[in-house]
Amino acid sequence: MLADEVAQQLLQKTPGLSACLGDEADIDERSLRHSLETVLLDVLSSRQPGAPDTGEPVCQSGLEAPHQDGLQPSGTTAGEEQATPPDQTRQALFHALADARATPPQSLPDLAEAAGWPLPPVVRGVVMATPGETQQVAALLGDSLTGMFAGRPCLLVPSHVEDARARLELPMGGRLAAVGHEVPLKDTPSSLRWAHRLLALTPDRGVETRPVFVEDHFSSLLLLQDEPLTQALAAHWLRPLGDLTSRQSERLEATLLAWFEGGGAPEAAKSLSVHPQTIRYRMRQLEKLFGPQLRDPRIRFELELILRSRRLMAQARIVQARMAYVRQGRRRSRAFTANPAPDTAEAIARVNGL
């Protein structure tokens, strides 16, 4: 039979497999096929992408390689399970670092040694916009740790060198990704969490796609942290604008924020593309509405904080609406191309010269 011939060829030309089988010459075809399938599945599931092939026979799932003097491997006894595969160990290490509530099965140094990933003093979390690119970037970086965080594949990258940022920008060129801030190991979840948040607020700019760094957006992320609280503060401090129309209120809010940011009428006018006299007129309106509050430093600070937050939130809503529109368009495009109507299919064929 063909199966017998294949089995014989494997036994004769694959020394590693012969070593795994030992003297079990009476093994039947079904058992041999089952063992081969099991070994292949174990190898494919346990070997890390890009890991070097040591040339040693891989014997798992009940097929054990012979040991000198008939002894079991060091540290194990007959009937005990074999060592955890490296990828599972690395996943356990990532989980222990990314979840502050996790209790690792062993100390972090021991887990890192077993995973072959030396613990760096500081790390950065990286989240790719396209999850399928995570392993590609990991292979380019070489010393990263991959795992799941908040339902997405992520990277942990050592960040103990001065040019860490430049080192990340090159392999991620042309890819949209968010890079968390540099943190000690105990704060790893914070770096990953803020990278996730920044990615959700960042649109894909096509040809200008590049990684974004949390450290460039600290103040924006802080202001966007709690929208209900911002709305409550706005309802309290912007109450003098409550009797105006929405258009009037928006115009005066923009004027007041430009005044705070620019420091005077000429700068605010340039920012809003209006005449300085228009800014002075609107500021007189604001002084009538707010009274002496605009001269109180603490109130001025809180008003600027609220106005900046409201502007950022409006921009974030626009970005998220655009991203949702793009995703919806892609889904419709896939549905259209997957199941075109007969007339549509004929039209497509004509356009393509068929």
Q: In terms of pTM, does the model score above 0.75?
A: no
β-pairing, 152-158 vs 122-128, is antiparallel
pLDDT in tens, the chain (354 residues): 444 555 565 555 554 454 455 444 444 555 555 555 544 444 444 444 444 444 444 433 333 443 444 434 444 444 444 445 668 899 999 999 999 887 777 788 999 999 999 999 999 999 998 888 999 999 988 889 999 999 899 999 998 766 777 788 888 878 889 999 999 999 999 999 999 999 988 877 665 678 899 999 999 898 888 889 989 999 999 999 999 999 999 999 999 999 999 988 999 999 999 999 999 999 999 999 999 999 899 999 999 999 999 999 888 888 778 777 776 776 666 655 555 555 544 544 444 443
Contact between 271 and 240 under an 8 Å Cβ cutoff? The reply is: no
How far, in Å, CA of 269 to CA of 207, rounded? 33
Largest CA distance in the chain: 100
Dihedral sign of CA atoms 338, 341, 347, 353 in order? positive
How far, in Å, CA of 147 to CA of 95, rounded? 7
How far, in Å, CA of 337 to CA of 332, rounded? 9
Contact between 60 and 85 under an 8 Å Cβ cutoff? The reply is: no
Instruction: Kindly give the residue spans of alpha helices, DSSP state H, lying in the chain.
Output: 2-13, 15-21, 29-46, 86-98, 108-115, 134-141, 164-169, 188-200, 218-223, 227-237, 246-262, 265-272, 276-290, 297-338, 342-351
